[in-house]
Every structure is written in C-alpha cells, then in structure tokens.
Structure 1
Amino acid sequence: MRVIRKFIAFVLLPFAVLCLAAPNVVAQPRFRFDATPGRLSKDVVPLQVGLTLDLDPARDGFDGRAEIELRLGKPADVIELHAHELVASSAWLADGGKRRVLEVKPDPEAQIWRLVPADGRPLAAGRHRLTLVYAGQVQRQGSGLFRASAMIDGKPVPSLATQLEPIHARRVFPAFDEPVFRARYLLTVRAPAGLEVLANMPREHRSEAGGIATHRFAATPAMPSYLFAVAVGRYEVLEGRAAGVPLRIVTAPGKREQGRFALAATRQLLPYYTQYFGTPYALPRLDQLAVPSTRFGAMEDWGLISYAENGLLVDPATTSPAQQRRVFSLIAHEVAHQWFGNLVTAASWNEIWLNEAFATWMANKATDHFNPGWQTLLNNRGWVDETMALDATDATRAIRSGPVRETAVFDVFDGITYTKGGAVLTMVEQWLGEERFRLGLAAYMRERRMSNATAGDLWFHIGRAAGRDVAAMAASWTDQPGFPLVTVASRCEGGKTRVTLAQRRFRSAAAPAPAAEPQWQIPVRLARGAQAATVLLDQAQASTILAGCSDEPVRANAGGRGYYRVAYAPEAHAALRERFAALPPADRVALLADTLALAHAGALPLGEGLRWLALLPQVRDGGRVPLFKQAIEAFQQLDQAFAGTLQQAPLRDTARALLAAELMRLGWEPLPADDPETLAMRARLVRQLAAFDDAATLAEALARLGRDEAGTQPLHPSLREAVRIAAGVAADRARFDRMLAALAVAPGEQERRTLASALASGRDAGRARELLDRMLAGDLPSNIASMMPPMVAELSPHGELAYRHLLDHWPQWQQIAGQTGQRWLLPGTAENANDPARAQALIADQARLVGPDGARLAQRAAARIGQLADLKARAAGLGP
C-alpha cells in the first residue's frame, strides 16, 4: 500500500522532498470472530456463565459449580474448554429436558478438559446448558484465586483475591479462557458470615444460615474470562462519586483513610475519560481494592480493580511524592482499561498492545493533564530508553507479537507492549493532531463497544477521522521489530538550507548487522528557532529545502515524542552542545538520550556521553530535574558495565562529584517552597549517592535515621524511603537484624518494599546469603520473597552470589515464585552482569530449569548482558 506523503510547511516556504517509493505494507485485517487465533473451537460459544463458589480464606481449597449456557454451531462429539489444577466430580448437559452425563477427560499439558457424552451420541447444534461440579486450590502466589494476608493487630489475617489475566481463570472455573470469548457472568458466593465478598458487579441479595452467608451478584456485561474478579475478606470502605458513578476504595481494616488520594484521583479521571471518549463508564459501580500482600502491580478487572497496597494507598505521613506519582499513574492506567481492554477487548493475546499500550498512553496523558508540574513525559524518558535498549537487540519483537504460545503469554506483557506501544501512539498522535486522534478513538469505542477488536479496526477509525492512510504508517511501527536511527545533515546552498535525512535500523554494538535494512514511515518533527514542521520520512533517504541559512542547527525529533534516535553531523552536534542549556526542555532530554545511546552503541566515543552530562549544571530552568534523572540512569548502567574493572572507581568519582554537588545545591532539608520535582529529586540523589557508597551521604542518612528512631527529628515524608534504603547500604549487624525482624511483621506493602530494598542493598556477603536463606522459610509473602534475588543483584555487589543461591536452592525458589514467577528469577538476577559467560550460562540454566516458556526472558537478559559486556570492553578507552 502506498502512502501519499504529507508535509506541513515551515513559515513562508514549503518542503520539497526527493525520495524513493514507499514500501508496501501488508494490511492489518479487521476483527472477525471465526478468524481470530486461539486453541478452542469457534463452533462452541459460551453465552452466560453461572458460577457458585464456596470460598473461605482459612481453607487451602475451594469448591465450585459452573452452569454454562452455550451455543453449538454444528453437531459435536466433544466440547473442549480450559481447566487447570481443577478436579471435576460430575458433569452433565441439559439436552431436551434430560440430563446427559459427560465424561471429563483432562489434558493437563494443554490445560484442557474434553467433555465427551457418556452415551456416545453426538451433541446437536443449538443452545445447551452445561453443568460442571469441581474443586480447586487456593494459590500461594498472586495468580488465580490466591490468599493475601493483612497484618491486623500484629497478626496475619487471611483474605482471598484473584488475578486471572492472562490464563488463570481456568484455575478458578472451567472457562473458555481466550479473550475472544465474551460471556455474561452471574456469581453466587458462599463464605463465612463475618466476611465481606466483592465482585465485578453490585450484590443483589445476601442471606445467612449456619454461619455461612450467601451472596448473589448482578450479571456482568458480556466480557472475557480474564476480567472476572472475586474477593473475600475483612474490609473498610471509603465511598465517593464521579461522572454519576458510585466509587469505593476498599482496604484492609485500619487503612481506610489511606484511600483518600486514590478516591480524589478517580474523581478526576473518570469524568476526564468519559468526556475524552464520548462514552460513559459502562458498569453501575467502580470498586478499587488494595490487596494487603502477595500480589504484584494491579489488574483492571471490570468494576473491581485490584492493586498491591502500595499501588493504591497513600499515607501522607510516610508516602513520598515520587510514590504518590506512581499511585496516580497506576490508577490512571487501570481506570483507562475500563475502556481500553474491558469495553473494547483485544481479539487475542497477539493484539494485547491494544489494551496495554493504549492504557499506558492514556495514563501519561491524564497524569500530565492533572499534574503538569510533574513533567510526566520528560520523567518517563528512562522507561523509553530502557525499552529502546532492548529493541536495539536481536532479542526484541514486534509490538503486534504474532502467534503467542498460551503458556508463554506473559512474555508479551513487557516494555515493547507497554512502553514502546505507548510511545508509538504518542508519536502518531503528534503527527495527526490531538483532536483528529481523539475523534478516531471515540469512533473506535462506539463501533467496537462490548466486543473485540484488532489493529485493523483501530487504524480504520483513526485514519477515517484524520483523512490519512494511517494504517500503513502505523504498521511499519507495530508489525516489525526495532526502530530507526535518523541521520540529519544540512548545508547552505544559495541562501537556502538543504537538509538531508536518512534512516536505518538502530542497533546496539553487541548486535550483528542485518541482512537487509527495514524501513519505517517516520514522522520526523524538525525545528530551527521558532520554526517547526513534520516530515513523513517513508523511504531510505530524502532531502528538503528550508528558507534561509542560519548558524543554529536544525533539530530533529523536536518535542521529543518520536520513537527513534537521531544522529547529527559532527559540527551540528557540537553546535547543539554549545546551545544545550538554551534548548527547549523536551529537546534537551531527547538530545541527551540520543547522545548517550549513540555513545553506548559505539557510534560516538564513550566519553562523549560523559562530556554531555557535565553540561547539566548549566541548565537553570524547570527542566533540570529530568536531566539529572537521565544522568543517574546513565551512571547506573555504566557502573554495572564497569563492575570489577579499573574504570569503576573513577566513574563513581565522576558521578559522585556531579550528584553530590546537586544535592548540596538542594540541601538535605526540604523547604516549604519545594515543588514535587525538587522533593523527588532530593530523594533520588540520596539513594543514588548511597548506592555509589558516598561516605558523606551514608553518614548523613544514618544520622537522620537515628534521630527519627529516637523521636527527636522525624524524617520528612519525601526522604523517609530514601534515607532508610541508604541506611541499609551501611547497615551494621544490629541494624540488619532489626530490619529483617521488622520485615516479617510489616503492616503494609510499601513498608515491606522499603525494608526489602534496604536489606538487599547491604554490602556484607554473609548477610546477603543469610537474607536469601531467610526468604526460603516460606512465611513471608511470596511476592516479597521472590523479588529478593533480583533485588540483591541490582542493589548490592552480590549478583553472582544471588544467582548461585538460585541454582543451589532451585526447587525451593521455584515453589516460592510459582509456575509463572519462576521464569523471571534467573533472568532478573543475571541481567546486570557484565560477563558474556554469564549470558551463555543463563540461556542453558533457564532451558534446563524452566523450559521453553522461559526462553524469551532469558534471551532478553542475555542481550542486556551482552550490551554491558561490550561497554566493559570499551571502558579502557576512558582511562583509569
């Protein structure tokens, strides 16, 4: 498909472009139920699922009964549906008013039950009612139906919650567990009378007999199985209302008031999204549940969003501004899913970016809208650069992943889906204009509501609203891996400026050269002074003429919203360095990111990146903080690469000099006039200087923590987490023991995370081993315990010790992390190593211990190790 190139003029002079023909792009088909990939037959379709669950947090198991109304498109000898770790006791089909017994034939490897008529006769086409009686297991890890304990009055009190995405509904009930199958759910729960029960929809009826309460809930809209949710426990509720929708923040007892920040955020977000999409929230109520332990992250279950406590709750006395930002952004992401993912659902896991990339993009937009002082787009640059580093290797993939093996679906819940997907959407929106983009999304929502969608549906509606062939441009970004490097050169010709643009794939120094260069359709945003324009570079090379000549170089990726790197001719790069402090904040961030990436990839001398970091003190405006965040992230990566070399010490000296001067400028004591950016940066500097073993910072952190513990000078909330983690770096035996004891009885998730980080940061190898041994005891929440080896590897010098501990105690670690979590253990612990031998061993160890489902994660970590090893090999050029 060819694309008509569209150019926006510079002032007084249009662009003239000489170029090659645009490449052909395969069209992305629109949604068709029967053409959607999946394991189950499209001839057997669930319409309504009635579930009765007997749930008690004190039990290790549960009982269930599923009554499934389904439609057979043609006669069938067998019905297949998903079930995993469930045990059937009986199964039958209501057929013509009679009960036809079904034999349940489990296939554990495929996670399938095959239901075969006991009488040997085929099942007729048409509607049937399938009934299955079964039992299941409560999980220790945060997937399926899992136990989460809250510390109440110093004692653990269990509750139950669910995490069914992507393929864990089948561990709770027999399910058509693919996104394309939407059905209504009618839930009844029997639970101990003293406990509350939550579900997707409001409760319609409650009765009680013999100490057991029966709760019946209203029917859900038709939705995929992974959005089903139920929770049982003791709760407190904070109520509100927004956009005509009742809101509830649900917490463990004693934490209700910590939900006020989340309630206020939701009151902002729900009306904002309703207006943006022109489509109201679809359910009669929105609950948000703080799960007191066990779970990671958050889940957008329709009408009952659940979070790890530190993702929803804010205690003004202890929560830092940085953590408040994370909470707001996470809520914005999950509430956006009520439209992207729930109202309109990705047709299959191949298209999961339609859920996650859009929720990421929308959360950034909303967070920036309500909190412009947070500089969300600039401060998120670190996530983009981290994703681009992976995307520059052969371990990457396309945003639209192609076929995904069911048991490895979590592989596509990664930075390529979330961060790259969101960044590409930001770039497309800038190209088309915000209003045209919004109108296209609104049309997409209206046409696909209560149904499924593909990329073809999305680009059809956005393209129609924009009046452009968006699909071909977008496919060049979503359907092939990697991203381009745009080279920019300019010269004065007859009083005009000729700008030459070229593209090729950006690759890390450790990645082999490709056999053929891919091409993208790149909306390159150019700027010179106050002039700006966008050029769609849809071929290998193009040139354009600008009015006049100027000493000021032309900047590409102006505004920093493009997902590509930019390389300038040497003289232009030098001129931009001279003007660095005067550039717009977003352009500075993009230019610094590109310079560092080019230096790390070997396209510039390694020391060139350090020269640019030395420019940061010249910046005096509000864009200074994001630049120092970039500096910290760059120093972290180089420190990991130089570990064990003669260059590590001088690198740390350089880093400490820059960062300590900035901390001295800000001062340790927060001031009333400090804005959130300043408060967050002070804490970030403290943490990083401590990580680099800065003696003055460690001494001050220990002194301040001592005064806080003595009650003579309480820590400011903005510094509380940073100071405690810094103290963990320098902890002696007594402090280590106190922190380890406190971890076991910590009252909430944020406290556990802070203590875990502090403990993992210690420098003593013996205590690091003791810490890892303690995780194997089995009495700590599985999410905290399973995070410890990667945390030790990242925050201390003992990465090799942590990796060896995993190998020496693999069966125990495997049990703690669970079937899904085990895949991250070895890669997460090894990824900061700088030895190519570790990369090779990781691939082999992961294959041996985890199997094929862990291969992609190991390959990604090995690619990162290769990048660090390459940096280490080039470190000698910097000198000792």
Structure 2
Amino acid sequence: MGKVYYVSKNVGLGMLVLAVAALATIIALSIAYDKERAKNRGKPGDEATDSTSMPPPPTTPFIPKEPWDHYRLPDSLVPLSYNVTLWPRLEPDARGMFVFTGHSAVVFRCVKETDLIIIHSNKLNLTTFYGHHAKLTGLGKATVPTIQKSWLVVKTEYLVLQLHSRLAVGSLYLLYTEFLGELADDLQGFYRSEYIEDGVKKVVATSQMQATYARKTFPCFDEPAMKAVFNVIIIHDRATVALSNGRDIDTVDSVIDGVPVSVTTFEPTERMSTYLLAFIVSDFVKIQSTQNNSLLVRIWARRKAIADRQGDYALSVTGPILQFYEHYYNATYPLSKSDQIALPDFNAGAMENWGLITYRETALLYDPMLSSTGNKERVTTVISHELAHMWFGNLVTLQWWNDLWLNEGFASYVEYLGADYAEPTWNIKDQIILSDVHKVFAVDALASSHPLSRREEEVNNPAEISEMFNTISYSKGAAVLRMLSEFLTEPVFAKGLSSYLNTFAFNNTVYTDLWDHLQKAVENTPGMHIPHTVHNIMNHWTLQMGFPVVTIDTRTGSITQKHFLLDPDSVVDRPSQFNYTWFVPIKWMKTGVEQQQYWLLQKTDINSQMRVSGEDWVLANTNVSGYFRVNYDLYNWDRLLSLLSTNHQALSIINRAQIIDDTFNLARAKIISTTLALRTTKYLSKERDYIPWDSALRNLDYYILMFDRTEVYGALQAYLKKQIQPLFEHFKTITANWTKVPTKHTDQYNQINAVGYACGMGVEGCRELIKSWYRQWMENPHHNPIHPNLKSTVYCSAIAFGGVEEWDFAWRMFKNATLASEASRLRAAMSCTKAPWLLNRYLEYTLDPTKIRKQDATSTIQYVARNIVGMPLAWNFVRARWGYIFQQYGKGSFSFSNLINGITKRFSSEFELQELKKFKEENLHVGFGSATLALEQAIEKTTANIKWVTENKAHVLKWFTEESK
C-alpha cells in the first residue's frame, strides 16, 4: 500500500488544484494545437510551393523598446531555488496528443528595484490565478505587490508580470506557476521518444534543454548565469522509472485524479544552470558499479540493449575516465551519482546534463560482436567529452553563450586525454590532427569565418545561440587550447586549470578568468618564461578569426606570417584589432634534430638558425603543436619531398600528414603550385600508416568532388588506383587473405581506407570480394560474414554495384537492427545506390518519422548528396521542401548547418552558384536559422571552387595523366 502523496511546503498548493486546472488547460491547448495542425496539414512540401510564390515581408529592422523586447533577461532578479513537479503522460489523450503537466515555484531575490517580473516561458499553456498567469508571494518580511497584469511574449519567449508597485531590493519572493505542454517528438525541451521492443511500441519522456529549451518545460530564468538549486519531483506510471540530475531519495505509490502513479522525489541539485537539467521517464533498465566506495555509476538503455550487454563497455571506461579527470583537475567529482542513458531519439551526439548525461544510442552502446573499432572509439571519446564537462562547463559555467567555444573547445581537447587514459594502446591523442585541427582549418580559412569569442551583443536570440555550436567553437577551440597547453607545458596548464575550477566552483566566469589563473601558474613555476602574458598571447587567437601561414625562407632565415585565406581574392570585412597578426609559438627541427622553440611576434623576422644549405632541411610546427600552416622556399620543399620518397619514416606520422595537408591547401590558396601539392602523394605507395594516408585521401577527395563529373576523373582514378593497390595488397597479406583483423588500432582504420578506395578505383579483385561477402549475407541473413570494421565500406560498395535486390535487403536489415550503430551503417549505405529512383524514394522516406527517425533525417539527406548521382536529387529535394524541412528540423538544431554544407560540397559551376544565390533570395522569408552562416560559407566556397577549377583543370589533368602511366 503506497504512502499518501504530499506536496512540498515551499509550494503549498495541493495536486488537486493542478489536476483541475490541468483539465481545463489540456482542452485549451488541444483546441489551439488542433487549429495549428489543421493549418499545417497536407503533404510535406505542399507549403514549399506556397512559400516560393509568397513575396518576402518588409525587412524593417525590429527595434526593442520595452524590457520584454530584448532577448536577454534584465539584471533585476536572481533565482535561488526552484521546486519543479512534472507529470508526463506516456499515452495519448482523446485527441491523440501527448502532454505533460506540472507546477513550479521559483524563489528569487530582487537585486535592483523593479515593478516587472520577466521570466522565460515558451509553448506552455499556463493556468490563470485570478486572471493572471502566476501567483506571487513574499518571503520573510517582504511585502508582496499585487499583479496588475500578465502576458506572454512569443517573440522573446517571456512571461511578463506588471506589478502595481516595486519589488524591494534584497527581499525574497516566490513565483508559482502551473502549466501544460505538449510532449512532442521535436527533440527539444521535454519531449517524446518512441521505439518498438518485442513488437510493442514504447514511449519515453526525455529532455534536451541546451541551449534555450528549459523554458519549454517550465517557466524559468533560462540563461546560464542564472544558476539555482532545483528540487525535482516526477509523477510517472508505476511501470516506469524516473530519472533526474540528483539521486532519487524517495518513490511512493499514489492515486492522483483517479490515476495510479508513482511519485519520485530527487535530492536537491547543486547550484546549476537551467540548460543542464534533465528529466526522463521510461521503462529502461540499468547496469551499475560503485567508484571510490560511494559514487554510483549507472548505464541506462532499452531492456534489449542491456540484455545484449551493449552497455558493458561504457560502464567499464566511465570509472577510469572519471578518475583521470579527478586527478587532472585536482577536484573530486562534485555529485553523488553519474547516470548515462542511451536514447532512441536524440538530436545531438550527447548532452552533458549534470549527473544524467544523455546520448544517442550510437554514442553509448557497444556490442563486441557486432560493433566496429570506430564504434568503440566513438563511445570512449564521447563519454570522455561529456565527463570533462562535469567540471568544466557544469561546475564552472561560462556567463553567456558568446564564450561557448571555451566550454566545448576545452572538452573537445581533453576528451583525447581522458580516452587515452582509458585506452592507452590506441595512441588516440594523435588523431586530434585529423579530427579537429585539419577539419577546422578548412572553415577558418574562409573570409566568412568568425572569432572564437564573439561580443555578447552578437549572440542574442536562440538561432544565434544555436549557430555558436559549430566547428569553430568545438574544433578550433580544441586546437587553440592544445597549442596553449603545448607552449605552457601540460603540468602548468593543469595547475592553472585546477586553480580556476576550485576558485569558481558553482559559479559563472568569462574566458579571461581562465587566462588569469593560467598566468598565475606561469608566474609560480620556476624557470617558466613566455614572451607575453597569457592574455596577450591568447587574445590574438580568440578575438580575431582565422590563422596565419608562416613562411620560412631557409636560404636567408627570413620568417613571415600572413592571414591564410583559401581564396586569396576574397574580401575580409571583419576588422581585427591585431591587424591579423598572431603571436606564433614555433616548435621546429633542423635535419631531424629538435631545436629550441621560437616565437614569431610580428609580421616578419629573421632567425639565422633556420638558414640551411646542402642536404639539410627545416621542418616547422613539429607534431602540429601550433594552430598555423607552414610554407617554405622551393629548395626546402624539394628536400622534404625527397626525404618522403627516400626515407619517409625520418619524419613523424603527424608531420607527414601535415606536409600533405599544408601543401594541398597552400596550392588552393595560390601560394604554391598545384603540382607541388600533388607530388606529396607520390610516396604513398610506400606509406602504411593511417594518419598520413587519411590526410592524403581527404585532400584528394576535394579533387574527386571537383572533377568526378569531368574528363579529369579517368586519369585521377588511374593514379589513385596505382597508389592504393600496394596498400590493398599489404592488408590482404597481413590479414591472411582478409581472415584476420590487424592488431594496431590505426591499422584497422587504414584497412578500411585500403578496401574502400581500392574498390572505388577499380583495383582488381576488390569488387568481387565485396560482392561475394554481401551475397553470402543475403543468402543467410542470420549470419553476417563481414567484419564489423569493414561493414560500412562493404555495405556501401555492394549496394552501389548492385540493384534493387541489394537495396531492399539492406532496408529489411535496417528495420530489424537491434544495435543502433548497425542501423546507422545501413542507413548510410543505402544512399550509395546509383539508381535515381531508389535515391528519390529514400529521400521521401526522410519525411516519414516511421521510416527514418527525425534525428536522422538531415544526415540521411546529406548521405544522398555525397553520392554523385544523388547530389542533384538531394539539392532539388531540399529546395522544393525548404519550408517544411526548416520548420521540422532547422529552427534550433545544432546539426542543421551540416545539411547546407553537405549538399553544396560538389558545387563548382557558375550555374550552381546562381542556383544557390537564388535559393537564398527565395527563402529569406522562411529563414535559415542555425544554417544562416553555413549558407554564406557555401556561397563563398562555391565561388572559390569555380575559380580553382578554371585555373587548375588543365594542369591537374596533365599531371594525373603522366603520373598514372
């Protein structure tokens, strides 16, 4: 027999009030929702026809006049604590809607005299109290003003209360609200995830609050600096379990409004930001362990996933990674438990909610029999990234989203350190060069790039905030912080970091606070010397966009730096207070011998040590420790290329990759010749290591994208076939004719490159091998003979070489897959078919969530666009349905910008550029949301591609023709 349910004293209102009010608001919301749904009913794409024929509205700028017209909260009120009760309904109501009801009481202090209460609220129906949306109470001796009027502001997502008199500075007040919201499948706020298990449809109520979605769940002061303590109660079906940030301290059975429920109360949270809140109700199960005799670590997932032991690996690495960070930060884990949960529907890769981290299934679940080495690495690095945030981001939080780069860039850097501790044989720290440094160079070399740290006034509304979650914030942030750690040394960096975290625990900071503590660490380290303060050095890297190319003339010792632009003719409109000059730390070697680090502090300098003669050579930026590219005089380039051809192992793996990546990009920027860049690939027939090969293939992929629709492609294919064949034969030998798995972690990756490109370039025996493996699987679907490492490559190639039978088989396997990473591989592979009607059918599937989950829709369209046959189909598909796609996926999605990038990668003709500009003009009234910057960059990149192809096509064709003989 369950205990009687009671409501917290701080709230002081019974659940019966909520239940009665909820019935009325459910009806009101349902009617409003039905009206909205009726307006938007019809097939996806219908409204696209309307949108293209509608004239754009007048573009008069909106000028805020009232406090509620601004997207930023006034600084008059500061929240202290919340009592939040939520009741999600996992069954649809009579109108077919899923809803949640709840109530919240926030205690806040008045710090500036005001007669307004402005608090965030979005898409919530609020119960009225005597004609007002909320009830205000004074605490202690505070006199409470009466509410004159209250209203909701849709544009800025506020609930506003106008008071008859002013609140008193220093006094405490309590604001109580009751609300109802839709438990929609939009992947935002408190939302609904659905999946099928044992033939039964199941529903999960889960959440994603970052960046601005807590306000969709309950009225709150929804800014990162507005930290508070949260007391959470969740009402849920008795057959389910409820989770939140804190540990559950009590679960009792009750009956509310005739419904038998369980009521779970959680321990109060630490002082934290709203974007880190998490609420989940499901019938998931867990595995668990205890760290240091007290910390509870749990992995939650679907019952079938846990039964298949897909959570075991995540549990095994979580403990060591937590221990690493405790030691690295010199700060104990601040909470009593660490929950991690794998969700069937989740828009991001993972989210660092404090104490309850949410993941896509592919980022947390691993099956040792079915998952690949890449899946395993992804689980390790994503867990490491999210656990890094438990201190950096959660314990100490940046004041506003303009400094998001420090939060995400830091986690993107130290994830390699945590993963390396958990899996020391992988040598994973080197991979930051491919995954972050080279990746972000491509974006940061555009004239439309932006600085890491933007001014606060540049980042206001939710779309501008979402746009900050981009490659610059994550990957440039990681690269620049890695450079900082390199020139300070890791011990000094960690010492300053620990001081910063312990000083600002449970509070908010700005990025300069970290520089202060790193500077103190420098000053307290005997013998430590840097040429300027940490502030001065780092301001050059964070307050101006881009990066330099450092040119060294080894005949004279002359060294210069210049802002590197992929298109040297592009115009940089953004001014720089440093005139695009950086303080550049250069680690370098002379003929294989490491030299003392050198700092380039102005545009030009002379370093006589860098003068060489004869067979000597200079290599700068050893191990790519700095965030810059390097160019040399032609004589030094010749000596380095000669070294590659005669003794490539004299250079480190990372620096071989650097030489390739630098030359290809210097050539695109017209700093060196295209043929010089191509010459760096001639030694590859002798290369066996993954990182240089991957660097080369990524750069040659640009040539494939630019030329796979032209006569150049035949010669390019013949050359690549010649270079990849020895690698293919190498792996055939060391795997005993494909029956064994390479021992080294990176060799397993390079085997994938060898097989994939060998088949693509027509190496003899490759296609037959792949087709036979896939055919064996088709003949016996219960036994897949393909090793997990090679599945992505084999599936894609077999479907590309096959027809409808191969595609339909993959679709059946996709629908029946019980492991998310296997489903993900098949989903990507189905885009590889060369049959246009199959690709068009597949694109239509992305609009049907019963076929392709909403979280996967935009990436599936990108996969189709990657296919030479699919690119124009995907482009036409997106253009025709932009209004619908934007409405469904674009408004706040972090990954939405990738859709524009993915579709336009091959654009290299004047016709495509004009189409892109026309697309922008015709959809200005619809908007582009978090893809706004991506669209500008697509136009810039297409313009650069056109020029590059025009200038280089003849040279490239000649070179590949001669070298492929």
Aligned to 1:42: 75
Deviation at 1:736, TM superposition (A): 1.6
Deviation at 1:637, TM superposition (A): 1.5
- Provide the C-alpha distance between the structure 1 equivalents of 2:901 and 2:655, rounded to a whole number of angstroms: 34
- Provide the C-alpha distance between the structure 1 equivalents of 2:122 and 2:299, rounded to a whole number of angstroms: 32
SS at match of 1:167: coil
SS at match of 1:847: coil
1:543-692 maps to which residues of 2 (within 5 A)? 543-546=606-609, 551-580=615-644, 581=648, 582-619=650-687, 624-667=689-732, 669-671=738-740, 674-690=743-759
Aligned to 2:408: 356
SS at match of 1:879: helix
SS at match of 2:265: strand
**Partners of 1:238 and 1:248 within 8 A in 2:** yes
1:260-299 maps to which residues of 2 (within 5 A)? 260-299=312-351
Task: Give the AA of the match of 1:518.
Answer: Y
- Provide the C-alpha distance between the structure 1 equivalents of 2:199 and 2:757, rounded to a whole number of angstroms: 33
Q: Which moved more, 1:352-361 or 1:786-795?
A: 786-795
Residues 717-758 of structure 1, C-alpha deviations (whole Å, 9 max, x = no match): 222333222222223112222323443444343233112101
Aligned to 2:53: none
Aligned to 1:405: 460
Identify if the C-alpha distance between structure 1 residues 676 and 710 changes in structure 2 by more than 3 Å, giving closer, same or farther: farther
Aligned to 2:61: none
Between 1 and 2, higher relative CO (CA 8 Å, sep ≥ 6) is seen in 1
SS at match of 2:711: coil
Q: Which moved more, 1:509-518 or 1:362-371?
A: 509-518
**Partners of 1:846 and 1:854 within 8 A in 2:** no
Residues 394-445 of structure 1, C-alpha deviations (whole Å, 9 max, x = no match): 1100010222132221111111111111111111111111111111111111
Aligned to 2:160: 114
1:357-396 maps to which residues of 2 (within 5 A)? 357-383=409-435, 384-396=437-449
Give the counterpart of 2:918 among 831, 835, 841. 841
Give the counterpart of 2:949 among 867, 872, 877. 872
Task: Tell me if 1:76 matches 2:114.
Answer: yes
Structure 1, unpaired ranges of 5+: 1-36, 492-497
Aligned to 2:791: 720
Task: Tell me if 1:809 matches 2:881.
Answer: yes
Task: Tell me if 1:234 matches 2:283.
Answer: yes
Q: Which moved more, 1:595-604 or 1:446-455?
A: 595-604
Q: Which moved more, 1:670-679 or 1:137-146?
A: 670-679
**Partners of 2:557 and 2:610 within 8 A in 1:** no
- Provide the C-alpha distance between the structure 1 equivalents of 2:513 and 2:71, rounded to a whole number of angstroms: 19
**Partners of 1:560 and 1:589 within 8 A in 2:** no
Task: Give the AA of the match of 1:453.
Answer: T
Deviation at 1:168, TM superposition (A): 1.0
Deviation at 1:655, TM superposition (A): 2.2
**Partners of 1:248 and 1:286 within 8 A in 2:** yes
Identify if the C-alpha distance between structure 1 residues 584 and 830 changes in structure 2 by more than 3 Å, giving closer, same or farther: closer
Q: Which moved more, 1:242-251 or 1:411-420?
A: 242-251
Aligned to 2:65: none
SS at match of 2:924: helix
- Provide the C-alpha distance between the structure 2 equivalents of 1:392 and 1:629, rounded to a whole number of angstroms: 20
Task: Give the AA of the match of 1:270.
Answer: L
**Partners of 2:409 and 2:475 within 8 A in 1:** yes
- Provide the C-alpha distance between the structure 2 equivalents of 1:834 and 1:376, rounded to a whole number of angstroms: 35
Aligned to 1:760: 831
Residues 519-562 of structure 1, C-alpha deviations (whole Å, 9 max, x = no match): 00000112112232211211111112329955321211012111
Deviation at 1:54, TM superposition (A): 0.7
Task: Tell me if 1:173 matches 2:223.
Answer: no
- Provide the C-alpha distance between the structure 2 equivalents of 1:306 and 1:521, rounded to a whole number of angstroms: 39
SS at match of 1:354: helix
Identify if the C-alpha distance between structure 1 residues 591 and 307 changes in structure 2 by more than 3 Å, giving closer, same or farther: same
Task: Give the AA of the match of 1:330.
Answer: V
Identify if the C-alpha distance between structure 1 residues 327 and 266 changes in structure 2 by more than 3 Å, giving closer, same or farther: same
Aligned to 1:4: none
- Provide the C-alpha distance between the structure 2 equivalents of 1:818 and 1:587, rounded to a whole number of angstroms: 39
> Could you state the TM-score of these two structures normalised by the residue count of structure 2?
0.83
Task: Give the AA of the match of 1:83.
Answer: S
- Provide the C-alpha distance between the structure 2 equivalents of 1:755 and 1:400, rounded to a whole number of angstroms: 39
Residues 174-211 of structure 1, C-alpha deviations (whole Å, 9 max, x = no match): 12111111011111111111011111010011111232
- Provide the C-alpha distance between the structure 2 equivalents of 1:370 and 1:676, rounded to a whole number of angstroms: 14
Give the counterpart of 1:93 among 136, 139, 149. 136
Task: Tell me if 1:220 matches 2:269.
Answer: yes
- Provide the C-alpha distance between the structure 1 equivalents of 2:112 and 2:917, rounded to a whole number of angstroms: 51
Q: Which moved more, 1:190-199 or 1:373-382?
A: 373-382
- Provide the C-alpha distance between the structure 2 equivalents of 1:689 and 1:167, rounded to a whole number of angstroms: 46
**Partners of 1:639 and 1:648 within 8 A in 2:** yes
SS at match of 1:360: helix
Q: Which moved more, 1:134-143 or 1:86-95?
A: 134-143
SS at match of 2:865: helix
- Provide the C-alpha distance between the structure 1 equivalents of 2:402 and 2:902, rounded to a whole number of angstroms: 24
Aligned to 2:36: none
Task: Give the AA of the match of 1:123.
Answer: L
**Partners of 2:445 and 2:547 within 8 A in 1:** yes
Residues 140-178 of structure 1, C-alpha deviations (whole Å, 9 max, x = no match): 232212222233114432212111111111111112111
- Provide the C-alpha distance between the structure 1 equivalents of 2:71 and 2:927, rounded to a whole number of angstroms: 24
- Provide the C-alpha distance between the structure 2 equivalents of 1:102 and 1:65, rounded to a whole number of angstroms: 22
Give the counterpart of 1:415 among 452, 466, 471. 471
**Partners of 2:561 and 2:581 within 8 A in 1:** yes
Q: Which moved more, 1:188-197 or 1:287-296?
A: 287-296
**Partners of 1:141 and 1:295 within 8 A in 2:** no
Identify if the C-alpha distance between structure 1 residues 151 and 477 changes in structure 2 by more than 3 Å, giving closer, same or farther: same
Give the counterpart of 2:563 among 502, 505, 509. 505
**Partners of 2:72 and 2:460 within 8 A in 1:** no
* Structure 1 vs Structure 2 CA RMSD: 2.3
Identify if the C-alpha distance between structure 1 residues 832 and 840 changes in structure 2 by more than 3 Å, giving closer, same or farther: same
Q: Which moved more, 1:90-99 or 1:43-52?
A: 90-99
- Provide the C-alpha distance between the structure 1 equivalents of 2:354 and 2:515, rounded to a whole number of angstroms: 25
Aligned to 2:511: 455
SS at match of 2:166: coil
**Partners of 2:395 and 2:507 within 8 A in 1:** yes
**Partners of 2:554 and 2:632 within 8 A in 1:** no
- Provide the C-alpha distance between the structure 2 equivalents of 1:727 and 1:536, rounded to a whole number of angstroms: 52
- Provide the C-alpha distance between the structure 1 equivalents of 2:760 and 2:189, rounded to a whole number of angstroms: 37
Deviation at 1:99, TM superposition (A): 9.3
- Provide the C-alpha distance between the structure 2 equivalents of 1:698 and 1:49, rounded to a whole number of angstroms: 62
**Partners of 1:38 and 1:348 within 8 A in 2:** no
Identify if the C-alpha distance between structure 1 residues 371 and 573 changes in structure 2 by more than 3 Å, giving closer, same or farther: farther
Deviation at 1:300, TM superposition (A): 0.3
- Provide the C-alpha distance between the structure 2 equivalents of 1:643 and 1:141, rounded to a whole number of angstroms: 38
**Partners of 1:187 and 1:217 within 8 A in 2:** yes
SS at match of 1:820: coil
Give the counterpart of 1:734 among 796, 805, 818. 805
Residues 92-112 of structure 1, C-alpha deviations (whole Å, 9 max, x = no match): 101358795574311111111
SS at match of 2:268: coil
Task: Give the AA of the match of 2:105.
Answer: E
- Provide the C-alpha distance between the structure 1 equivalents of 2:666 and 2:610, rounded to a whole number of angstroms: 30
Residues 814-859 of structure 1, C-alpha deviations (whole Å, 9 max, x = no match): 3542532466544442243223334423433553432565421211
Task: Tell me if 1:707 matches 2:776.
Answer: yes
Aligned to 1:470: 534
Task: Give the AA of the match of 2:420.
Answer: D
SS at match of 1:207: strand
Deviation at 1:689, TM superposition (A): 4.3
**Partners of 1:251 and 1:259 within 8 A in 2:** yes
Identity percentage of aligned residues: 24
SS at match of 2:622: coil
Deviation at 1:598, TM superposition (A): 0.9
